């Protein structure tokens, strides 16, 4: 599992780790919605990692994930978990704020 990375200014950056189940409909939608969320932000919200549970089920288990799609928004000090296809962009934003706020 990759560790959170740091920004140019040395600020610890947020990591979006999305667990998906192949190209299943909700997973596909979650990927698309997360991509759209990143694209619409003026600054990069953080690093995105996509984990396919079909390929790496153990990673999901190690992260305590047992359903897909699940998004973990985490920083060094905080972590938020979202379930579903991420169609509610505000929910992602709120999670991001909470995590960034630490």
Partner 1 sequence: MATRRPTYEELESRLAETERALEAIREGKVDAVVGTKDVYVLRLREMEEALREAGEERERRLAAQAALSDISYDILAQTDISGLLNVSAHAARRLTGARLASCGHGYMNGRFRTGATSRDSGIPDCPPGRDFSIRKGGLYMEVLDRTWSFRLTDARMRSHPRWWGLPKGHVPLDGLMGARLMNSDGSPNGMILASHKDKGDFTAEDEGTLSQLAAMTSLALRNLMFQEALEHRVDERTMELEQKASDLQILNREMAVEIGRRAEMEARQKKTEEELRLSNKKVLEEIKERRFLAGRLVKLIERDRSEMGMALHDEAGQWLTALRMELEDIKGGLPPGHLLDKVEVTEKQTTELLGFIRDFSNYLRPASLKRLGVVSSVRGLVEDVKKKMGGEVHFHFKEVPANLHPDKELALYRIIQESLTNIQRHARAGRVFVNLIRKGTTLHLSVEDDGVGFDPQDLERDHGSQGEALGLSIMKERATQVGGDFWIESEKGKGTLACACIPVGDPVEGSGGGPNKIRDENA
Q: Specify the stretch interacting with partner 1 by CB under 8 A; choose among 2-10, 38-46, 65-73, 91-99.
A: 65-73
Q: Of residues 18, 34, 53, 71, which one binds partner 1 by CB under 8 A?
A: 53
Query: Which residues, listed in sequence order, are joined to residue 80 by a DSSP beta bridge?
Result: 73
Minimum CB distance to partner 1 smaller for 48 or for 81: 81
Q: Of residues 4, 48, 57, 94, which one binds partner 1 by CB under 8 A?
A: 57
Q: How many CB atoms lie within 10 A of CB 60?
A: 19
1 contacts partner 1 (rule: CB under 8 A): no
Q: Of residues 2, 3, 42, 64, which one binds partner 1 by CB under 8 A?
A: 64
Coil/strand/helix, residue 13 = coil
Cα separation of 75 and 29, whole Å?
24
Q: Which two tokens stand for residue 53?
A: 């549970």
66 contacts partner 1 (rule: CB under 8 A): yes
The count of C-alpha atoms lying within 13 angstroms of the C-alpha of 44, restricted to the half-sphere facing its C-beta, is 13
Is residue 20 a contact partner of residue 69, using CB atoms and an 8 Å limit? yes
Residues that bind partner 1 (CB under 8 A): 19-22, 24-27, 53-54, 57, 60-61, 64-70, 81, 83-85
């Amino acid at each position: 599992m990759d560790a959170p990375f740091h920004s140019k200014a040395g600020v610890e950056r947020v990591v979006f780790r999305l667990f998906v189940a192949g190209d299943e409909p909700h997973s596909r939608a979650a990927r698309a919605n997360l991509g759209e969320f990143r694209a619409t932000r003026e600054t990069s919200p953080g690093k995105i990692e996509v984990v396919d549970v079909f390929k790496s089920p153990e990673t999901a288990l190690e992260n305590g994930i047992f359903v897909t799609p699940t998004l973990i928004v985490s920083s060094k000090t905080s972590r938020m978990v979202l379930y579903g296809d991420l169609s509610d962009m505000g929910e992602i934003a709120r999670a991001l704020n909470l995590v960034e706020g630490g």
